[in-house]
Amino acid sequence: MRRLFAASALALLLAAGAANAQPVDAASVDAAVRRVMPEVTAWRRDFHQHPELGFAETRSAAVIAEHLRSLGLEVRTGVGKTGVVGILRGAQPGRVVALRADMDALPVQEATGLDFASTATGTYMGNTVPVAHACGHDMHMAMLMGAAEVLAGMKDRIAGTVVFVFQPAEEGAPPGEPKGGAALMIAEGALNDPKPEAIFGLHVVPGRPGSVFYRPEGFMAASDRVDISLKGKQTHGAWPWRGVDVIAVAGQVIETVNTLTARTVDPTTTPTVFTIATINAGVRYNIIPDSATLSGTLRTFDTAQRDALVARAETAIDHVAAAYGATAEFGVKQNAALVFNDPGLSTWLAPVLAEAAGEGNVNPATPPTTVAEDFSYFQQVIPGVFYHLGASPDGVDPAASSPNHSPEFSPNEKVLPLGVKTHVLTALRFLDRS
Ligand SMILES: [Zn+2]
Ligand SMILES: [Zn+2]
């Protein structure tokens, strides 16, 4: 009885201490980050050697879940197939903040020459394909696991809750799947109970190692897949007037899409890329076929502008086809929404990132980028900020370093501690916000 009382009195004292705790200073965070770095590097290399495609991240999920459990976190697995959610409750109640990392690799044959390069394979569209972490998600998982360990070690000084979201299938919904990883995790309650007030995430990209950059509002493009199917009338290549030349129509459609984008969108306010990347038609040099299919991608930074351009393109393509007696079907499917960084949070975050990266290493007004990220779906539910971490190899001009998704993409491991630190300080400072 006495011992029980003593224990609860001690708990009360500790709790009171937590309530009055000073914010954890950057030097303590630094020291704690340094302590977890050997593990973080080992995790990164292990994930790198064992990459898994979207919604097949079972091994990665098991490694993550085991680690989070070992830290005493509440862990939910199978949230969005292979997604993992870890919940760290501080000694005192308070705000709730989420940190996110993505988990999937790509069907890419790695050519980095690293000792721990991938030799793994996976199944993509029914084929066995090489698989590699060619987008750096191995780094993201390892950094967030490190951040979880650092924050768990500071639990007694934390008032509030940190939700760690490990998300599968960021690289778009795999063929046959209606949703990608972020959308599926949201649908399956990753942001419920507790509901975070804000979410933060990062990505390694070519850039000076140690630099951090982002922008408020539209940062990474909305990405749509576009499919155009044209129907004409088959005829002899020598007698085009006796049919409907769908090849000529396809050429006009491509010109129309390019011109429409260049001539009707203000490029200074809403950068827009509309690319037709495939065209399939015909089997023989002297037969004009009866149909052609085209596909491409649309990248935009303003939802209203995107909707307007899609409507104009549909009308224009219909009219072009009709002028030649052909018909057109136009389909648009969103791969990822616009990464929209909450303006207020973007302003708030800059000094926090500077605390982690050092003054002069943070650019909170970088130009937008036409690549996409499904982090955008979390930002449709709660405000959030997504930022990039420069991770080009040492001695390589960032402008010339291999981009994400290339076989040679090899982010610099020296930025691992910085990613752990930006996660930790973002969570701590957010929870301390008055
Ligand atoms: Zn990617
Ligand atoms: Zn990525």
Please say whether the beta carbons of 303 and 222 come within 8 A.
yes
Q: What is the pLDDT of residue 21?
A: 59
Q: What is the residue-level pLDDT of the chain in tens, covering all 434 positions?
A: 344 444 444 444 444 444 445 789 999 999 999 999 999 999 999 999 999 999 999 999 999 999 999 999 999 999 999 999 999 999 999 999 999 999 999 999 999 999 999 999 999 989 999 999 999 999 999 999 999 999 999 999 999 999 999 999 999 888 889 999 999 999 999 999 999 999 999 999 999 999 999 999 999 999 999 999 999 999 999 999 999 999 999 999 999 999 999 999 998 888 999 999 999 999 999 999 999 999 999 999 998 999 999 999 999 999 999 999 999 999 999 989 999 999 999 999 999 999 999 999 999 999 999 999 999 999 999 999 999 999 999 999 999 999 999 999 999 999 999 999 999 999 999 999 97
Alpha carbon of 341 to ligand 2 centroid (Å): 17
First to last CA, the chain: 40
Catalytic entry in 170, 245, 373, 374 = 170
Q: One-letter amino acid identity for 348?
A: W
Q: Which of 195, 197, 179 is nearest to 187 (CA)?
A: 179
The rounded distance, in Å, linking the Cα atoms of 44 and 41 is 5
User: How is 326-381 classified by DSSP, letter by letter?
Assistant: -EEEEEEEEEE--EEE-HHHHHHHHHHHHHHH-TTSEETTPPPBS---THHHHHHH
235 Cα distance to chain centroid: 47
Which residues lie across from 201 on neighbouring strands? 100, 386
The rounded distance, in Å, linking the Cα atoms of 338 and 217 is 9
Alpha carbon of 260 to ligand 2 centroid (Å): 30
Burial 209-237 (b: 16+ CB within 10 A, else e): bbbbbbbbebbbbbbbebebbbbbeebee
Burial label for 242, CB within 10 Å (0-12, 13-18, 19+), is: exposed
Alpha carbon of 403 to ligand 1 centroid (Å): 10
Ligand having the closest approach to the CA of 100: 2
Token pair for residue 208?
A: 């000076």
CA atoms within 13 A on the CB side of 343: 1
For residue 310, which phi and psi values (nearest 5 degrees)?
-60, -45
The rounded distance, in Å, linking the Cα atoms of 93 and 91 is 7
Alpha carbon of 196 to ligand 2 centroid (Å): 23
The rounded distance, in Å, linking the Cα atoms of 326 and 318 is 9
Across the beta sheet with 74-77, the strand order is 74-77, 84-89, 159-167, 92-102, 198-205, 384-390, 212-213, 362-363
Ligand having the closest approach to the CA of 406: 1
Please say whether the beta carbons of 385 and 366 come within 8 A.
no
* Annotation marks residue 373 as catalytic: no
The rounded distance, in Å, linking the Cα atoms of 379 and 220 is 12
Angle separating helix axes 416-432 and 343-357, nearest 10 degrees: 130
* Annotation marks residue 104 as catalytic: yes
Q: Which of 286, 337, 406 is nearest to 182 (CA)?
A: 337
Token pair for residue 190?
A: 């990753």
Q: Which helix (H) or strand (E) holds 15?
A: helix 2-19
DSSP 60: H
Token pair for residue 108?
A: 């890419």
Catalytic entry in 104, 110, 224, 302 = 104
Alpha carbon of 413 to ligand 2 centroid (Å): 16
Burial label for 163, CB within 10 Å (0-12, 13-18, 19+), is: buried
149: left (phi over 0), alpha (psi -120 to 50) or beta: alpha
Q: Which of 339, 390, 299, 384 is nearest to 97 (CA)?
A: 384
Alpha carbon of 130 to ligand 2 centroid (Å): 17
Which residues lie across from 53 on neighbouring strands? none
Whether the bond into 194 is cis, omega within 30 of 0: yes
